[in-house]
Amino acid sequence: MTTLHELRTLPARELERLLADGHPIDPSSLEGWAFRGTVLATPRLVQRLTWTTFQKTFHRLADGRLVGWNVRLEQTGLDGPSRPLLDGGVPRCVWPYEVLPCGQPGFERGLVIDYAPFAGALDTMRFVKDPLVAVDEGGELLLGVSYAVLGARRVPTPTWFALHRDQPISYVPPLFEPAPALREFERRWADALFEGLLGTPLPKHERFWQLIAAHAPALVKPGLRVAVHALTMLPLSMGFGRPFFALDAQSRVTCAEAMAAHPSLTVKQLVSTLKVLACFALLESEGVRAGLVRAGTAAAPASPDDGRGNGAVESTQGVRAAAPPATPTAATSAAASPATARLHSPGGAP
């Protein structure tokens, strides 16, 4: 097996041979890791003026793309610890990229690091691609080099580097965080609508918005924004005189009931959609999910059925006996409210 120390001693022509004979890389083996990079075959003067070590990361986005970024490190020596340089208390991340499978034009082996998807129109990094191969079959030591790609032309640069697994990723820069579904003020509008439709104050539900941002299909976010804006301003045309968020709690419930009975089918559909999302937000809120789990674990084992359903009755009684005394919760208040009651009535609004 080739070692990093051996790669450090090789001239560029030997590195070219290793790259040409390199082995495929399983992209899934890279996910979630920062690899420590070491510059190879570079004159010492250039290394002193720039850097010798760095990190390249590999992070899987919710849409399935494998991406990454470079992390600038304190230059602690070739065998020193990896300590990121910090900006504002977080690692200094530069040159984001997408990792593409082999088979890209001119790059038939391994993977290709492509900086173009995240580079600006005037950023020269948009022309840079790094082919990346495993030095040994199934090995953890990776070899790469930077090419300037101008149309069909590939111009090699002297930027050779080796990568080896360093540590799990501990920081994801904002560029790769899921885009929020709504802006902050739109979330306040949506929360007001949720509370009016449920008829009860909504406990903290940050997890709901995180799940929407990370996993909602592409059309859900713009659709949600349209629904929130439309229903927030609708009370102005219904005689309430204010946007929904500016109404007091009782007026919000009254307005929600009026919107649910609105003659426009479009309005009814928007109300129905936000009712469903409001229920999801309630289920993901603090305390409610934990309460559901506690209620489930309090159930007693079912007794054998005697053929007349007595076993089921005894089991149900056991659950009642094991459950703690009932106390008002957001969920029970919501179910008891007039606006929410229609969710459960066969002839009510959808």
Tell me if 314 is assigned to some domain: yes
Pick the last residue of a domain from 150, 176, 202: 176
pLDDT tens digits, one per residue of 52-70: 899 999 999 877 899 999 9
Q: Is 350 contained in some domain? A: no
Please write the tens of the pLDDT for every residue from 264-304. 999 999 999 999 999 999 998 877 776 766 666 666 555 55
Residues 202, 137 within the same domain: no
**Of the residues 127, 158, 176, the one at which a domain ends:** 176
| Cα-based angle 322, 328, 329 (whole degrees, multiple of 5) | 90
pLDDT greater than 70 at residue 318: no
Q: Which pLDDT belongs to residue 316? A: 39
pTM here is: 0.55
Q: Kindly report which listed range (61-65, 128-132, 215-219) carries the lowest average pLDDT score.
A: 215-219
**Do 283 and 243 belong to one domain?**
yes
Please write the tens of the pLDDT for every residue from 234-267: 999 999 999 999 999 999 999 999 999 999 999 9
∠ at Cα 161 (156, 164), nearest 5°? 145
Q: What is the pLDDT of residue 213?
A: 82
The verdict on 108 and 197 lying in the same domain is: no
Distances (CA, A) of 97 to 20, 114, 190, 221: 23, 5, 35, 25
CA dist., res. 126 & res. 123, Å (int): 6
218 in the same domain as 247 = yes
Are 42 and 157 in contact by the 8 Å Cβ rule? The answer is: no
Q: Could you tell me which residue, 347 or 78, shows the higher pLDDT?
A: 78
Total structural domains within the chain: 2
Show which of 176, 197, 217 is a domain's final residue.
Answer: 176
Distance CA 341, CA 144 (A): 62
- The average confidence (pLDDT) of the chain is 82
Q: In this predicted model, which residue has the larger pLDDT, 290 or 329?
A: 290
Where residue 165 falls among pLDDT bands split at 50, 70, 90?
very high
Domain of residue 299 covers: 184-344
- Could you tell me if 31 and 14 lie in one domain? yes
Q: Is the pLDDT of residue 349 over 50?
A: no
Same domain membership, residue 159 and residue 14: yes
Which pLDDT value is given to residue 340?
A: 41
Residue with the bigger pLDDT between 216 and 325: it is 216
237 and 165 within one domain: no
The distance from CA 238 to its chain's CA centroid, rounded to whole angstroms, is 39
Cβ-count burial of 192 within 10 angstroms (0-12 exposed, 13-18 middle, 19+ buried)? buried
Tell me how far apart the alpha carbons of residues 257 and 119 are, in angstroms, rounded to a whole number: 49
Residue 34 has pLDDT above 80, yes or no: yes
Long-range contacts of 104-110 (CB under 8 A, 24+ apart): 104/129, 105/152, 106/147, 106/149, 106/152, 106/154, 107/131, 109/19, 109/20, 109/22, 109/23, 109/24, 109/133, 110/22, 110/23, 110/24, 110/25, 110/134
Residue 337 confidence (pLDDT): 42
Q: Which of 41-50, 142-151, 202-211, 255-264 has the lowest mean pLDDT?
A: 41-50
Domain with residue 108: its CATH number is 2.40.128
pLDDT of 220 reads 86
In a domain, 349, yes or no: no
| 144 and 230 within one domain | no
Closest CA to 85 of 97, 100, 70, 99: 70
Domain match, 202 and 312 both: yes
The verdict on residue 71 lying in a domain is yes
Q: Can you give the pLDDT at residue 287?
A: 77
Bin 307: left if φ > 0, else alpha if -120 < ψ < 50, else beta. Answer: left
Between 306 and 217, residue with greater pLDDT: 217
Residues 155 and 279 in one domain: no
The pLDDT value recorded for residue 304 is 54
